[in-house]
Structure 1
Amino acid sequence: MASQQAHQEIEEYLGQVPSWMETIAEPASDHSWGLFRDLVLAETELSEREKGLVGLGVAAAIGCPYCTYFHKQEAQLADVSDAELEEAINVASNTRYFSTILHGNEIDHDEFVAETDEIVDYIQQQEAAPADD
């Protein structure tokens, strides 16, 4: 259970202390709340929209119905459209799909990095090239 101070802070932010937060072991409860508060609820480098979409993509990829529901609600609070939610899930699925291929085939990491760097350089050159009239 979180300390009295953390308990009050959670209620201020969320209107209640969710029951699942009560299951976090004593040594980690205040720290866990701090991580959640500072990364999910606080102003950070990522916008609320971006955090919601990243969270939803990860939640969908790991198959967590709790996190999927939470991050979908989080994204909708940030005015993310249904089409954007669907695309975020599809991007996550695409990443997981290709990760399975790369890991399952034991692709050499150094070769993968070198090829990716070459591809990025090529794309940057294409974008910087003047358009033919």
Structure 2
Amino acid sequence: MVSDQTRQEIEEYLGQVPSWIDGLSEPAADHSWQVVRDLELGETELPNREKALVALGAAAALNCPYCIHFHTEEAKLEEVTEGGVTEAVNVAANVQYFSTILHGSQVDLDDFVEETSQIVDHIEEQQAASAGAD
């Protein structure tokens, strides 16, 4: 259970203390909230809009209805359109799909890393050539 101080802070941030907070074990309860506050809700390198989309994609890949609902609403608060929400879920599904292919085919990781490096080099060359043509 979170401390009274943390409970008050949660209520200030969210307007209430969600019932799931009571599911946090006491040794980690305050810390768990601090991670949400500082990483997900706080000012970080990623804008909150991007964090909401990352969280939504992860939630969809995990098939967690709670997280999907929360992070969809979070994304909408960050002005992500319905199309953007759908696209984020589709990107997550695509990553999961190809992860299954790579693992099931037992693609060698070192070979994959080398191929990816070559692909990145090629794309960077194309972008540089395109920028030079402008």
TM-score range, shorter chain: over 0.9
- Structure 1 unpaired stretches of 5+: none
- Deviation of 1:13 after TM superposition, in Å, equals 0.5
- Counterparts of 1:23-62 in structure 2 under 5 Å? 23-62=23-62
- Deviation of 1:46 after TM superposition, in Å, equals 1.1
Normalising by structure 2, we get a TM-score of: 0.95
Instruction: Tell me the number of residue pairs that the alignment of Structure 1 and Structure 2 aligns.
Output: 132
- Deviation of 1:108 after TM superposition, in Å, equals 0.6
2:127 is equivalent to residue 112 of structure 1: no
**What corresponds to 1:103 in structure 2?**
103
**What corresponds to 2:123 in structure 1?**
123
Give 4+ residue runs of structure 1 displaced > 4 Å after superposition: none
- How far apart in 1 are the matches of 2:23 and 2:49? 29
- Other structure's SS at 2:44 match: coil
- Structure 2 unpaired stretches of 5+: none
2:107 is equivalent to residue 81 of structure 1: no
- How far apart in 2 are the matches of 1:65 and 1:7? 25
CA deviation digits over 1:17-65, x for unaligned, max 9?
1110111111110010011111111111111211111111110111000
**What corresponds to 2:93 in structure 1?**
93
- How far apart in 2 are the matches of 1:19 and 1:50? 26
- Deviation of 1:4 after TM superposition, in Å, equals 1.1
Normalising by structure 1, we get a TM-score of: 0.96
- Other structure's SS at 1:107 match: coil
RMSD value over aligned CA atoms? 1.2
CA deviation digits over 1:61-117, x for unaligned, max 9?
110000000000000001110111111111101000000011111111000000000
**AA aligned opposite 2:39:** L
